[in-house]
Structure 1
Amino acid sequence: MSNDQIISSVKDTHLVQKRRNQMIKGAIALFKEKGFHRTTTREIAKESGFSIGTLYEYIRTKEDVLFLVCDAIYDQVRNRLETATDWDNPAIANLEEVVESYFRLMDDMQEEIIIMYQEVKSLKPESRDYVIKKERDMVAMLEKMFSACLPETFDAQDASLLANNIFVQGQMWGFRRWMLQKQFTLDQYIERQIHFLKQSLSTHLIQREETS
């Protein structure tokens, strides 16, 4: 399943995207306040600025709205990573820029990320599998960046684990904000996480040289 497979009776693709973006913003505000299950489609329509009849011209079910929310989150993550990555000149400095850009996006979207992980279980298996696949794609972009910046340094397994660590560290800023944001500013959190990443990379390189 993909965004395009959600049935709409409206054929104007620009208008469909505009209305669905309104739904996404309205739904996120309501899901934050009430959760997915206690939010009604009528409330989503009102929060989005149109009637319930108009809502059903663009989606079929409330689950479709949740799917659109999840899809939009990962589209933003993908776009941010692609924008920050310099595939023509991969380097450690660029890797740091990618990680910092990702962490800052997670700060901007911390409410949305929390909602997605809390409510993705409400999606049908096909839609849930699609969202999980998109997450794997995001991690794969980080894996590719590690491999490009540090050729012949990490095997596929290590690169995958390191990419997953970075991915979770970004999300952790929102998940554990009740503690972390009392101890660190966002800049401090990013600086320390990149510091630990560089330490880990240096240790890994030294170990490889000692065993080679």
Structure 2
Amino acid sequence: MDSLLNKLISEEFLSPIVLSLKIAFVSGMIVIVLGTLIGNYFARNTFKGKAFVETIIMLPMVLPPTVVGFFLIVLFGKNSFAGRMIEWLFNQPIIFTWWAAVIASAVVAFPLMYQSAKSAFQAINTDIEEAARLDGANEWKVFLFVSIPLASRVLIAGSILSFARALGEFGATLMFAGNIPGETQTIPTAIYIAIDSGNMTLAWMWVISIVIISFLMLLFIRSKED
């Protein structure tokens, strides 16, 4: 019993959990803001090539995570324009860093938030928004104080699902951010390494941890629907 308790409070066990939560939180905030804004825009506007752009936005949901990781390496690697600019600005490449894990998680989680936001804004009764405009509210006030509150239920559900997706990201993170303990090692990559090295006790501990976290998030969503 003491041995198990020691493992539960050890840095080796807690580090991937804390890091995963931090990465999921930061990437989640990015995804929530961008997903809400872009989802609202696409819900209200039609333009040439819209279907093509939306297809690109949704691609990370259906592509293998390793393919997403490959594209991120191509886009942000040392030989790319973006990669060279980042290295020039911050004096280090972004690949195999904490921010690489944030980007990978955000990319794979974004389609969930975008689709949730778009569906939520499409379902709003536009007469309510129009009434606010007639009362003198500008577009930002309508968006912040009318549209978002009306869509809040679906937006919250989308936010939690996006956070859960970011928390469980594995393939793209492993390729783009690597598996550096204390730096980029998240729960999924830690589980993979633990199984590969035969440490099934530690693997089970991480598996149970992420199952509990995910279960609680889904339970929260279900409770809001009842």
- Does the pair score TM above 0.5? no
Task: Say which structure, 1 or 2, has more relative contact order (CA 8 Å, 6+ apart).
Answer: 2
Q: Normalization by structure 2: what TM-score?
A: 0.31
